[in-house]
Amino acid sequence: MLYQQIAQNKRRTIYVMAGFTLLVALIGAALGYLFAGTATGGVIIALIITLIYISVMVGQSTDVVMNMNHATEIHSADENPELWHVVEDMAMVAQVPMPRVFIIDDPSPNAFATGNNPQHAAVAATKGLLAMMNREELEGVMAHEMSHVKNYDIRLQTIALALAAAISLLVNFASNFWWFGGGDRDRERDGGGVIAILGSVLLIILAPLAASIAQMALSRNREYLADASAVELTRNPQGMISALRKLEDVQPMKAADPNSSALYISDPFKNQKHRSFSHLFDTHPPLEDRIVRLEKM
């Protein structure tokens, strides 16, 4: 069941990333048609902008994300022996290099991993997590984060964030340019192009919403995979299950940055026991669903 779940999640990830890329191309085509009369040119420009965003984000992701979340790096086991040794052990089991280790001064229990590859990865845990979890549970949480590192989820989430940012940039450009008279008014008067124009405008309006839903779907998908991979690393599903149960009824974080909320093991801004009826816009799958999957393994 574990390997079937991993394979299924990887397939879904490919679909989501393909959808992201298609959305960028469609927005570029819409912009090109509206403002330059050429969809192809718009697609090329949009893809170039997106590649630039991805390059910048991938190259600087660790320091940027840690600063955004007010994390402080520790450099040896002397500063926090238990966290350091657990991270060291889980990295060894996962067969990835020892990541940089950070602590966030926040009483709410949570953790995340970031970086552009296993050689330049980092993990962070809140003081609340370190106070709440026993050794077995902390191993489960860190195994979860090492799974994100090993599976290159950290790079995937960074690319997804860059894609979403690029889409927002393109949409903002379209809005500003249009209101200042940048649209092709001749095509607007051409009855044959009215439908294409309306379709392009509608696509530009709905694109940010579609990008957000795709980013959230990607995050939820990778959390299931990391849970399963963590159990594979520790050979102890109860440690992971117990840790997730402790995360169900906690207060939201104060130090977390909204733009990086999808990186955390649990939604840093929502109490898991008091969720809305719709999970469409959640960055994480319900903890109860994650627990049920682990109990079936």
Question: What are the binding residues for Zn(2+)?
Answer: 144, 148, 223
Is 188 among the catalytic positions? Answer: no
Q: How far is CA 173 from the centre of its chain?
A: 24
Q: How many CA atoms lie within 13 A of 111 on its CB side?
A: 33
Its sign, for the CA torsion 274, 288, 16, 91, is: positive
Q: Where on the phi/psi map is residue 95: left (φ > 0), alpha (ψ -120 to 50), or beta? A: left
Nearest Cα residue to 219 out of 284, 165, 166, 267: 284
Choice among 145, 232, 248, 288 that is catalytic: 145
Cα–Cα distance measured from residue 177 to residue 1, given in angstroms and rounded to the nearest whole number: 52
Nearest Cα residue to 89 out of 140, 127, 134: 140
Binding residues: 144, 148, 223
Cα–Cα distance measured from residue 131 to residue 145, given in angstroms and rounded to the nearest whole number: 18
In contact, 89 and 239? CB cutoff 8 Å: no
In contact, 87 and 99? CB cutoff 8 Å: yes
* Kind of pairing between the strands at 71-74 and 121-126: unpaired
In contact, 281 and 216? CB cutoff 8 Å: yes
Residue 32: phi, psi to the nearest 5?
Answer: -60, -40
Mapped onto helix, strand or coil, the DSSP state of residue 102 is: strand
Q: What angle do CA 152, 284, 202 make, to 5 degrees?
A: 95
- Residues annotated as part of the active site: 145
